[in-house]
């Protein structure tokens, strides 16, 4: 780093996969885990979801639910399909999945100290001409992640309100 106010960039090839790590089953969009679960899907992006989950329930451990771009919108995809379509090799996927879970765990420790609950977040990765993989794009921000405010959850307020208040105050 030549200076704290300078960013050094590197040209990378971007994997056409967003690695979404979810700590809770929630959401209302077409790619949300809760939306799929409500429709009866129990195999979601390579994850087997148990019966009896409730909206906004914490997963036993975080899950990865990757997406890729289709002609119109984000498309849910399983790790097996990522490799089959040659969007990534198995080795690349294993590496990226491991790093994403570690980043989520680290982000959870940080946000926990600051009164936030990380619900889900996306990570994007790219690689250079030598095949080295890099984390790209912002991480653990209101634009790339969903957070709930602990204080509101303790008071029993709806979790959806928590995100709106967080964004309004950021």
What is the tens place of the pLDDT at every residue in 71-116? 777 889 999 999 999 999 999 999 999 999 999 999 888 888 888 8
Report the candidate in 43, 27, 45 with the shortest Cα–Cα distance to residue 35: 27
Q: What is the percent of the chain where pLDDT is above 70?
A: 88
Average of pLDDT values for 41-69?
Answer: 94
Average of pLDDT values for 129-156?
Answer: 83
165 pLDDT exceeds 60? no
Q: Taking the alpha carbons of 168, 145, 42, 17 in that order, is the dihedral positive or negative? A: positive
1 pLDDT exceeds 70? no
Prediction pTM value: 0.84
Token pair 């090799």 is found at 89
Q: How far apart are the C-alpha atoms of 63 and 33, rounded to whole Å?
A: 10
Query: What pLDDT, on a 0 to 100 scale, did the predictor assign at position 22?
Result: 95
List the Cα angle 97/98/102 in 5-degree steps: 115
**Radius of gyration (C-alpha) of the chain in whole angstroms:** 17
31 neighbors 74 (Cβ within 8 angstroms):
yes
66 pLDDT exceeds 80? yes
Query: What pLDDT, on a 0 to 100 scale, did the predictor assign at position 169?
Result: 47
Q: How far apart are the C-alpha atoms of 104 and 111, rounded to whole Å?
A: 10
Q: How far apart are the C-alpha atoms of 87 and 79, rounded to whole Å?
A: 10
Q: How far apart are the C-alpha atoms of 132 and 152, rounded to whole Å?
A: 42
């Amino acid at each position: 780093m030549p200076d704290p106010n300078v960013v050094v960039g590197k040209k990378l090839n971007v994997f056409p996969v967003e690695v979404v790590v979810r700590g809770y089953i929630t959401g209302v969009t077409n790619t949300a885990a809760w939306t799929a679960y409500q429709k009866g899907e129990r195999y979601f992006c390579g994850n087997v979801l148990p019966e009896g989950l409730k909206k906004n329930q914490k997963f036993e451990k975080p899950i990865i639910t990757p997406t890729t771009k289709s002609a119109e919108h984000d498309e849910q995809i399983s790790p097996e399909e990522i490799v089959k379509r040659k969007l990534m090799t198995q080795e690349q996927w294993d590496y990226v999945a491991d790093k994403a879970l570690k980043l989520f765990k680290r982000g959870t420790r940080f946000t926990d100290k600051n009164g936030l609950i990380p619900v889900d977040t996306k990570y994007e990765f790219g690689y250079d001409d030598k095949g080295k993989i890099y984390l790209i794009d912002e991480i653990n921000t209101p634009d790339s992640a969903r957070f709930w405010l602990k204080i509101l959850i303790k008071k029993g307020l709806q979790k959806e309100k928590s995100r709106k208040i967080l964004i309004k105050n950021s």
